[in-house]
């Protein structure tokens, strides 16, 4: 772990975000249709007059060439200004601050569910490979990987909300609203974690220090729990960090299914509304979140296992 | 991989063909291969075998439950759900295979060129791949496809563009190890033109892990395509694509459960097939887990 590494990582991030935002602006330029007309039509409920369209375009700088709009956006960004939403004149950063907690709660819920499932099942199936629990958990994990989370969401709504009436169907706010979305998001994560934990635990259980512990007459539960698990948790930590991309994209779909007003629904709505400042804002935030969590995971990895030099050449 | 291909001929113990054959005797891998074969046949021949028009509306039998005439029921416009799922296989699987093919060609091409050339070409290519990994792929695909305008074509392009990095990384590291082998050096020293050294001696020996990667990737892309279509960015109604079908069936969860569950089951089965097959192939062709390298 070195400062050079952190610097490299941060500069790569900055370049990536620049490229992604530039690509988005490039796509906006070639996208068919005029956002001004669409936005005004939606807000007014009737076709706008050409006067209204012109005012809107002038207000939001849409008459400038696209590269100029982009530079303008970058300049504002450097001053901490993400621009204003095309609808209701709301500032984009305010909107993001409003929606971020909804998504963070979902992500935390999903991760909690996934770890609560993957830790015990992973340990159980690694401790008795080819046993009943192992076969069962592997089959379920496989299903979890193959399951589209939007379908799983509707299955859960059907069973728990519509048939059993246990949970609220849509929306957000209370803890009860968080249960089904967390399970939906957590299932796919848990499947990957279980498979990985089982594989790495199997590897460590074959390692010499574990055999040594066994030969010393330590009980199997102690061997698995203390010696092997400690070494298997490290890869699990990395995977949980790497899964953030999966969490973010999963959150988009899960939020749409459960109609939660988070970043995901905001992004999808903004795309269909041609609300480009909001699209740019959410994309930027997603990129920043993604990179920060990955960097923190790397740092944590180095702390947990000092043998690993994360500053080394990435393969 | 390369070592075994050198030492063993086709079919002899240890060769690639032999290993694949042995893998297919594993029940999970065999089941995966069977599912993949079935879905492929349905995608290729289904529309010919089942001539029911997936777009034909029959407003007199709207939201009909499964019956002998409509084994999977009908949707809100009285269209036959079985016909729609069968015809939909062409879109869902077709897009997934196309995306994987583009990723494969792009990634293998860049990986081979970068690994074999070395120097600044390598540096440039790999930094570009780093860029791809520094952003959540599906979110990027969502923004690209969304801003460019909702259509299956844009989803295909977006998913292909964001996903070839893994192939490039895996292939490059394989090329780096193969490049220094004696048989490559021998070919080079005997005056074989560079493109022939690459095509005949390097390429065949680095493809093993990428084939495994591609098998697993098809499943992932089926999920991604269906997900983007579900959000409304991919196939547009009335196209019978599985994700789109779930999106329009969700409003009838209470009254017509089959609308969401039949396409959902089709997706799960397809992804399951490719995952089982890919896992089996990985155990056979890539026991060291190099295909995990770029993830």
Q: Does domain B13-285 have CATH number 1.10.3720.10?
A: yes
Model's pTM, two decimal places?
0.86
Chain A, residues 227-246, CB within 8 A of chain B, namely: 242, 244-246
Cβ neighbours for A192, distance < 8 A, ≥ 6 positions apart: A141, A144, A145, A239, A243, A246
∠ CA B111-B115-B119 to the nearest 5 degrees? 125
* pLDDT tens string A154-165: 999 888 888 787
Q: Collect all residues of chain B within an 8 Å Cβ-Cβ radius of residue A66.
A: none
Compute, in degrees rounded to 10, the torsion defined by CA atoms B26, B28, B29, B30.
Answer: 80
pLDDT above 90 covers what percent of chain A? 17
- CA of B12 vs chain A CAs: smallest distance (Å): 30
* pLDDT tens string B101-128: 999 999 999 999 998 888 899 988 988 8
Q: Report ipTM for this prediction.
A: 0.85
pLDDT at A268: 93
Which of the residues B136, B154, B243, B290 would you substitute to probe the A interface, choosing the one with the greatest number of A C-beta atoms within 10 Å?
B136
Closest CA to A251 of A178, A157, A143: A178
Closest CA to A251 of A141, A84, A83, A109: A109
- Is there a contact between A159 and B254 (Cβ–Cβ < 8 Å)? no
* DSSP assignment letter at B74: B
Measured in whole angstroms, the distance separating CA A61 from the mean position of its chain's CA atoms is: 32
In three-state form (DSSP H/G/I as H, E/B as E, the rest C), the secondary structure along chain A is CCHHHHHHHHHHHHHHHHHHHHHHHHHHHHCCCCHHHHHHHHHHCCCCCHHHHHHHHHHCCCCCCHHHHHHHHHHHHHCCCCCECCCCCCEHHHHHHHHHHHHHHHHHHHHHHHHHHHHHHHHHHHHCCCCHHHHHHHHHHHHHHHCCHHHHHHHHHHHHHHHCCCCCCCCCCCHHHHHHHHHHHHHHHHHHHHHHHHHHHHHHHCCHHHHHHHHCCCCHHHHHHHHHHHHHHHHHHHHHHHCHHHHHHHHHHHHHHHCCCCHHHHHHHHHHHCCHHHHHHHHHHHHHHHHHHHHHHHHHHHHHCCCCCCCCCCC
Domain ranges of chain B: 13-285
Question: How is residue B111 written in tokens?
Answer: 């990986």
Instruction: Say whether residue A146 is in contact with chain B using an 8 A CB cutoff.
Output: yes
- CA of B2 vs chain A CAs: smallest distance (Å): 20
The Cα B24–Cα B38 span in angstroms is 16
Compute, in degrees rounded to 10, the torsion defined by CA atoms A186, A192, A196, A199.
Answer: 120
How many CB pairs below 8 Å do chains A and B form together?
138
Compute, in degrees rounded to 10, the torsion defined by CA atoms B268, B273, B277, B278.
Answer: -30
Does A197 or B77 have the greater pLDDT score?
A197
- CA of A99 vs chain B CAs: smallest distance (Å): 17
What Å distances lie between residue A85 and A72, A266, A267, B277, CA to CA?
15, 11, 12, 47
Task: Let me know if B97 is exposed, middle or buried by CB neighbors in 10 A (0-12, 13-18, 19+).
Answer: middle
Name which of A155, A279, A291 is nearest B147 (Cβ-Cβ): A279
Residue range A235-249: mean pLDDT, rounded: 78
pLDDT at B294: 35
Closest CA to B275 of B222, B208, B206: B222
* DSSP assignment letter at B202: I
* CB contact (8 A) between residue A150 and residue B149: no
* CB contact (8 A) between residue A158 and residue B295: no
Q: What is the mean pLDDT of chain A?
A: 82
Q: What are phi and psi for residue A172, nearest 5 degrees?
A: -155, 175
pLDDT at A105: 92
* CB contact (8 A) between residue A20 and residue B254: no
Closest CA to B3 of B206, B295, B160: B206
Residues of chain B with pLDDT under 70: 1-14, 64, 286-295
Closest CA to A40 of A24, A18, A21, A62: A62
* pLDDT tens string A105-126: 999 999 999 999 988 888 888 8
pLDDT at A24: 81
Q: Is the peptide bond before B213 cis (omega within 30 degrees of 0)?
A: no
pLDDT at A308 > cutoff 70: no
Cβ neighbours for A248, distance < 8 A, ≥ 6 positions apart: A107, A286, A289, A290, B136, B138, B139
Number of H helices, E strands in chain B: 13, 0
Question: How is residue A134 written in tokens?
Answer: 């192992």
SS3 at position B80:
strand
Residue range A118-141: mean pLDDT, rounded: 84
Name which of A154, A253, A283 is nearest B227 (Cβ-Cβ): A253
């Amino acid at each position: 772990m070195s400062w050079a590494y952190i610097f490299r990582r941060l500069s790569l991030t900055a370049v990536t975000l620049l490229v992604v935002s530039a690509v988005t602006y490039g796509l906006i330029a070639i996208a068919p249709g005029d956002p001004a007309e669409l936005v005004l039509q939606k807000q007014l409920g009737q076709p706008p007059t050409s006067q209204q369209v012109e005012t809107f375009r002038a207000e939001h700088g849409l008459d400038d060439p696209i590269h100029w709009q982009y530079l303008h956006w970058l300049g504002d960004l450097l001053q901490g200004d993400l621009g204003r939403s095309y609808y209701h004149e709301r500032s984009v950063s305010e909107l993001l601050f409003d929606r971020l907690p909804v998504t963070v709660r979902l992500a935390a819920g999903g991760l909690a569910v996934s770890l609560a499932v993957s830790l015990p099942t992973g340990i159980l199936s690694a401790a008795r490979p080819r046993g009943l629990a192992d076969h069962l958990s592997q089959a379920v994990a496989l299903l979890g990987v193959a399951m589209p989370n939007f379908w799983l969401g509707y299955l859960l709504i059907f069973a728990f909300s519509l048939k059993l009436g246990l949970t609220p169907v849509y929306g957000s706010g209370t803890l009860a609203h968080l249960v089904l979305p967390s399970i939906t998001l957590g299932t796919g994560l848990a499947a990957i974690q279980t498979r990985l934990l089982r594989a790495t635990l199997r590897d460590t259980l074959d390692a010499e220090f574990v055999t040594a512990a066994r030969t010393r007459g330590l009980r199997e539960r102690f061997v698995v729990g203390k010696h092997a698990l400690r070494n298997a948790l490290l890869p699990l930590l990395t995977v949980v960090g790497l899964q953030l991309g999966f969490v973010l994209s999963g959150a988009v779909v899960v939020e749409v299914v459960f109609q939660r007003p988070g970043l995901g629904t905001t992004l999808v709505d903004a795309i269909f509304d041609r609300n480009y400042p909001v699209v740019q804002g959410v994309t930027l935030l997603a990129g920043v979140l993604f990179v920060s969590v990955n960097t923190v995971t790397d740092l944590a990895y180095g702390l947990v296992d000092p043998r690993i030099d994360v500053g080394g050449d990435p393969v | 991989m390369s070592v075994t291909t050198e030492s063993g001929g086709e079919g002899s113990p240890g060769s690639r063909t032999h290993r694949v054959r042995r893998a297919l005797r594993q029940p999970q891998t065999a089941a995966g291969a069977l599912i993949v074969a079935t879905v492929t046949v349905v995608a290729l021949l289904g529309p010919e075998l089942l001539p029911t028009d997936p777009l034909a509306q029959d407003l007199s039998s709207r939201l009909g439950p499964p019956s002998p005439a409509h084994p999977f029921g009908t949707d809100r416009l009285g269209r036959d759900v079985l016909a729609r799922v069968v015809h939909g296989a062409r879109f869902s699987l077709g897009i997934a295979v196309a995306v994987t093919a583009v990723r494969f060609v792009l990634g293998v091409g860049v990986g081979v060129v970068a690994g074999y050339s070395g120097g600044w070409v390598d540096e440039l290519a790999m930094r570009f791949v780093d860029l791809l990994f520094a952003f959540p792929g599906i979110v990027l695909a969502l923004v690209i496809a969304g801003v460019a305008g909702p259509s299956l074509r844009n989803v295909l392009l977006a998913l292909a563009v964001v996903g070839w990095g893994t192939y490039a990384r895996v292939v490059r590291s394989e090329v780096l190890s193969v490049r220094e082998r004696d048989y490559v050096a021998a070919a080079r020293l005997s005056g074989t033109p560079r493109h022939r050294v690459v095509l005949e001696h390097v390429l065949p020996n680095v493809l093993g892990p990428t084939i495994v990667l591609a098998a697993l990737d098809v499943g992932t892309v089926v999920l991604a395509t269906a997900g983007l279509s579900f959000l409304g960015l991919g196939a547009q109604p009335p196209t019978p694509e599985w994700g789109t079908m779930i999106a329009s069936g969700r409003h009838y969860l209470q009254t017509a459960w089959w609308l969401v569950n039949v396409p959902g089951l089709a997706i799960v089965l397809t992804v399951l097939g490719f995952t089982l097959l890919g896992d089996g192939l990985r155990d056979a062709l890539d026991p060291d887990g190099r295909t995990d390298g770029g993830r």
